[in-house]
């Protein structure tokens, strides 16, 4: 049995700005998408058999050619993503093989520098029987819930809050069931499983699995890369 990876990479990167979709922005001479794929490949214990990438419509062929040297044509599928992240994941999920896969990872292209041990922890937890697994880190800010007028409603106890990263890992039939229902305002895949009443397990994430979101995140990305290459 092996693992399939879905990489939603079809976002425009509006908060990052620039002319190119975020996944194609380069750090250290390579795109964020290539960095993400390399990071996944480094997780050798995860036994990755298949990569399905959702990209902006019209870029499928270019991306296939770019990733083929890293993944191999037989293991690579590239599909046009949708309007929302969950639409992109759903489009990719349709191309994940039904047979021989005991774990599906969903990993943001924008979390391009996730360390291999995080990926391996997620896969190991799924293989140990957890149907849905997310990597998490503690939150450092105090988080408040506010009403539409901006008034603070409550301050949850920070010690029970975590920030959630990717890759998130799933038992394949659960992920298919979770995505069979269309829900608005979905920000991650585990959330869809929670709605089905499925317990989601957490494993330790990493600060290096941060999501490249705003321009200053590119500086952090460059620094991480320079540290790793030195």
- 8 Å CB contact between 116 and 47: no
The minimum distance between CB 11 and Mg ion, in angstroms, equals 5
Give 11 or 115: the residue with its C-beta nearer to ligand CTP: 11
Dihedral sign for Cα 195, 33, 78, 14, please: positive
213 interacts with, out of ligand CTP, Mg ion, none, CB within 5 to 8 A per kind: ligand CTP
The minimum distance between CB 7 and ligand CTP, in angstroms, equals 7
Number of residues that bind Mg ion (CB under 5 A): 1
What are the DSSP calls for 23-87, one per residue? GG-EETTEEHHHHHHHHHHH-GGG-EEEEEEEE-TT-HHHHHHHHHHHH-GGGEEEEE--SSHHH
114 interacts with, out of ligand CTP, Mg ion, none, CB within 5 to 8 A per kind: none
**Looking only at residues 71 through 90 of this chain, which bind Mg ion when binding is defined by CB under 5 A?**
none
The minimum distance between CB 212 and ligand CTP, in angstroms, equals 7
The minimum distance between CB 139 and Mg ion, in angstroms, equals 20
d(CA 131, CA 128): 9
23 interacts with, out of ligand CTP, Mg ion, none, CB within 5 to 8 A per kind: ligand CTP
How many CB atoms are located within 10 Å of the residue 191 CB? 18
**Looking only at residues 3 through 32 of this chain, which bind Mg ion when binding is defined by CB under 5 A?**
11
The minimum distance between CB 87 and Mg ion, in angstroms, equals 12
How many CB atoms are located within 10 Å of the residue 208 CB? 18
Q: For residue 97, give the DSSP letter.
A: -
Site mask, Mg ion, residues 93-112, x = CB under 5 A?
Answer: --------------------
Site mask, Mg ion, residues 150-189, x = CB under 5 A?
Answer: ----------------------------------------
Q: Closest-CB residue for ligand CTP? A: 11
Give CA separation, 42 vs 47, 63, 70, 196, in Å: 10, 20, 11, 33
d(CA 225, CA 163): 23
**Binding-site ranges for Mg ion (CB under 5 A):** 11
């Amino acid at each position: 049995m092996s693992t399939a990876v879905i990489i939603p990479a079809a976002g425009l990167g509006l908060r990052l700005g620039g002319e190119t979709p975020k996944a194609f922005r380069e750090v250290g001479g390579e795109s964020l998408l290539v960095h993400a794929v390399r990071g996944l490949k480094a997780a050798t214990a995860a036994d990755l058999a298949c990569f399905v990438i959702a990209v902006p419509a019209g870029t499928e062929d270019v991306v296939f050619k770019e990733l083929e040297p890293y993944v191999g044509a037989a293991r690579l599928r590239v599909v046009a993503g949708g309007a929302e992240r969950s639409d992109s994941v759903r489009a990719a999920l349709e191309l994940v093989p039904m047979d021989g896969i005991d774990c599906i990872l969903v990993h943001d292209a924008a979390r391009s520098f996730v360390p291999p041990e995080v990926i391996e922890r997620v896969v190991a937890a799924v293989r140990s029987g957890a149907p849905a697994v997310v990597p998490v880190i503690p939150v450092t800010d105090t988080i408040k819930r506010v009403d539409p007028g901006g008034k603070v409603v409550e301050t949850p106890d920070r010690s029970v809050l975590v920030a959630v990263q990717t890759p998130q890992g799933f038992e394949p039939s659960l992920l298919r069931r979770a995505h069979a229902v269309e829900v608005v305002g979905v920000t991650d895949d585990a959330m869809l499983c929670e709605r089905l009443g499925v317990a989601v397990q957490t494993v330790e994430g990493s600060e290096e699995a941060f999501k490249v979101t705003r321009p200053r995140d590119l500086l952090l990305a460059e620094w991480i890369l320079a540290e790793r290459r030195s």
